[in-house]
């Protein structure tokens, strides 16, 4: 293998969040990077003691603080929750001005390059900042040559979103809504997502013997992370195995993807943001809507040295989580 170097310094914004904490852990475990966590000054989050970890605290709205924190960084990984997404444009601009060349914006959801998904979700508020971030990086690249984004497609976070009810199951109450018109979709566990991002950033910048296994391939492109290609029926079978239950132990309601979508649009029109989340899951799970990116994920698993995982083990984590806040309509 020949290459022209690797990334060394990674800045991470949102390191205490659901996926950000997984990214941080796996970046540190590689022992290949110096990681700079950029955290809010009022954050109560604590981070591991590690010789390759630096923490800068300040305001995400302070360009001077951000540019200082981003100085000498090769890449910026941003993992904000939806309520903080309004801060992302300023963070991206500060990173570009500081000389960062690789930006991983807050995606961690669907295949952002799928035209069907883009059309179906063009008016969903949760998705608009993701599209805008990619466009912003491309526009900034005109003033800061060499600047690129990398999108991370994860689809649902298996154990996390299953516990939250986003996939049609309320585990504690043993209720299930099964949707006709649902098909196969990819899903990734949170640890696998963190590991995949760490391995992505560990790739050589260029690779003349295998260009596919280089960061250059992913410039202004997506990486597709997946632990499973599943359906709602496959998930339900796993749930029953893990809980030792049968169909008769569950209260089952039959619906359709189309009915779910209609209800979500009605809720969104009334300002219910849970319905926006529901629309994302409609499009993850609906047959032919873009939630099945297995052909791309298979290649990326090979490039990143990732393996498919044990579905029952992931489902057990969701079962063990017990009662959690339901954030999807």
Count CA within 13 A, CB hemisphere, residue 129: 22
Q: What is the mean pLDDT of the chain?
A: 95
Q: What is the pLDDT of residues 113-151, one digit of tens each?
A: 999 998 888 878 888 999 999 999 999 999 999 999 999
Residue found under tokens 């393996």: 307
Q: What is the pLDDT of residues 92-112, one digit of tens each?
A: 999 999 999 999 999 999 999
Cβ contacts of residue 282 below 8 Å, gap of 6+? 257, 260, 261, 264, 289
Closest CA to 195 of 26, 32, 21, 6: 26
| CATH no. of 9-155+189-224 | 3.40.50.720
Banded pLDDT at 327 (limits 50, 70, 90): low
Which pLDDT does position 216 carry in this prediction? 98
The predicted model gives 169-196 an average pLDDT of 98
Q: Looking at the predicted structure, is the pLDDT value of residue 164 above 90?
A: yes
The predicted model gives 56-83 an average pLDDT of 97
Q: Is 30 helix (H, G, I), strand (E, B) or coil?
A: helix
Banded pLDDT at 3 (limits 50, 70, 90): very low
Q: What is the pLDDT of residues 224-243, one digit of tens each?
A: 999 999 999 999 999 999 99
24 phi, psi to nearest 5 deg: -60, -50
Q: Looking at the predicted structure, is the pLDDT value of residue 328 above 60?
A: no
Which pLDDT does position 170 carry in this prediction? 96
């Amino acid at each position: 293998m020949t290459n022209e170097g690797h990334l060394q310094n990674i800045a991470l914004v949102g390191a205490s969040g659901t996926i950000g904490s997984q990214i941080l852990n796996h970046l540190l475990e590689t022992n290949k990077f110096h990681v700079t966590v950029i955290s809010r000054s009022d954050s109560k989050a604590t981070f591991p003691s590690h010789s390759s970890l630096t923490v800068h605290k300040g305001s995400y709205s302070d360009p001077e603080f951000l540019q200082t924190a981003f100085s000498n960084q090769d890449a910026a990984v941003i993992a904000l929750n939806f309520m903080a997404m309004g801060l992302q444009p300023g963070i991206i601009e500060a990173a570009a001005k500081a000389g960062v060349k690789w930006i991983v914006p807050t995606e961690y959801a669907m295949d952002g390059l799928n035209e069907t998904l883009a059309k179906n979700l063009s008016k969903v508020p949760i998705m608009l900042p993701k599209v805008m971030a990619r466009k912003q990086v491309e526009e900034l690249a005109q003033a800061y040559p060499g600047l690129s984004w990398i999108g991370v497609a994860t689809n649902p976070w298996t154990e996390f979103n299953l516990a939250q009810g986003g996939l049609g199951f309320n585990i504690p109450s043993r209720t299930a809504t099964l949707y006709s018109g649902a098909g196969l979709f990819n899903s990734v566990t949170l640890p696998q997502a963190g590991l995949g991002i760490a391995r992505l950033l560990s790739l050589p910048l260029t690779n003349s013997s295998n260009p596919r296994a280089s960061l250059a391939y992913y410039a202004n492109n997506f990486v597709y992370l997946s632990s499973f290609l599943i359906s709602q029926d496959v998930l339900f079978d796993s749930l029953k195995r893990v809980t030792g239950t049968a169909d008769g132990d569950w209260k089952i309601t039959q619906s359709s993807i189309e009915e779910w979508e209609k209800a979500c649009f009605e809720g969104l029109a009334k300002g219910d943001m849970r319905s926006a989340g529901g629309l994302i899951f409609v499009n993850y799970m609906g047959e032919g809507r873009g939630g099945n990116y297995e052909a791309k994920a298979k290649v990326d698993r090979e490039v990143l040295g990732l393996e498919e995982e044990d579905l029952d083990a992931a489902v057990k984590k969701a079962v063990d989580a017990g009662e959690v806040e339901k954030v999807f309509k």
